[in-house]
């Protein structure tokens, strides 16, 4: 009966770690729209490279969403592991020109995410003007934190069971 209890506790712990470790959108940074110029996919890709501080020339545009200063949270279909560059308007109501760009990573293997309706950076805190989705080249995805926690928990549970079995 004891092994069954231990197995149940380990299973519950793995579920809890996996469930709580999932993140849907990971904020990566923000810059002012004036840094890269016009509102275009090429300018947004340049902004993503600046925010991530890496070469993104081999990233591809895999989604393009245009809005008229959308004020509420927006749910969109995305590719897991993609980066979103969201253009937020300037000012509290998003009515004036300029604004800022915020970059997010789609984490947790999500295919549908909800983008915040208002920017949180000092560069732009108005409504959404556009969302550009950029996909990194294939084969460069890193397991998200939920998968990592599950693998670590499974390995530790396996070691514990093997140790217990070898003691007999």
Element of type H or E holding 135: strand 128-135
* CB count in 10 Å sphere of residue 57: 8
Span 89-98, mean pLDDT? Answer: 60
Instruction: Tell me, rounded to whole angstroms, the distance of Cα 113 from its chain centroid.
Output: 9
pTM assigned to the model: 0.66
Confidence of residue 92 (pLDDT cuts 50, 70, 90): low
Residue indicated by tokens 């020339």: 57
* CB count in 10 Å sphere of residue 118: 18
* CB count in 10 Å sphere of residue 82: 21
| Domain membership flag for residue 133 | yes
Query: Between the CA atoms of 42, 38, 67 and 54, what dihedral angle is there, to the nearest 10 degrees?
Result: 40
| Domain membership flag for residue 3 | no
> Residue 52's domain spans which residues?
23-138
List residues bridging with 84 in a β-sheet: 104, 133
59: tokens are: 């990233």
Over 90: is that where the pLDDT of 85 sits? yes
- Dist CA 153 CA 155 (whole Å): 5
Question: Could you give the number of structural domains in the chain?
Answer: 1
- Dist CA 124 CA 11 (whole Å): 44
| Domain membership flag for residue 6 | no
| Domain membership flag for residue 10 | no
| Domain membership flag for residue 145 | no
Tens-place pLDDT, residues 104-152: 999 877 888 888 888 888 877 778 888 999 998 875 455 566 777 777 7
| Domain membership flag for residue 129 | yes
| Domain membership flag for residue 55 | yes
The reported pLDDT for the residue numbered 50 is: 92
| Domain membership flag for residue 115 | yes
């Amino acid at each position: 009966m004891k092994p069954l209890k231990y197995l149940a506790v380990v299973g519950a712990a793995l579920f809890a770690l996996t469930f709580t470790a999932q993140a849907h959108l990971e904020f990566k940074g923000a810059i002012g729209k004036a840094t890269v110029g016009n509102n275009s996919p090429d300018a947004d890709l340049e902004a993503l490279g600046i925010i991530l501080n890496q070469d993104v020339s081999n990233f591809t545009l895999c989604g393009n969403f245009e809005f008229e200063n959308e004020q509420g949270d927006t749910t969109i279909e995305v590719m897991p592991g993609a980066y979103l560059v969201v253009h937020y308007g300037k000012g509290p109501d998003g009515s004036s020109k300029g604004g800022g760009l915020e970059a997010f990573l789609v984490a947790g293997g999500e295919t549908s995410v909800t983008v915040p309706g208002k920017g949180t950076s000092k560069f732009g805190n108005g409504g959404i003007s556009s969302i550009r989705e950029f996909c990194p080249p294939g084969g460069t995805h890193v397991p998200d934190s939920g998968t990592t926690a599950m693998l670590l928990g499974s390995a530790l549970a396996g070691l514990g069971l093997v140790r217990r079995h070898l003691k007999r």
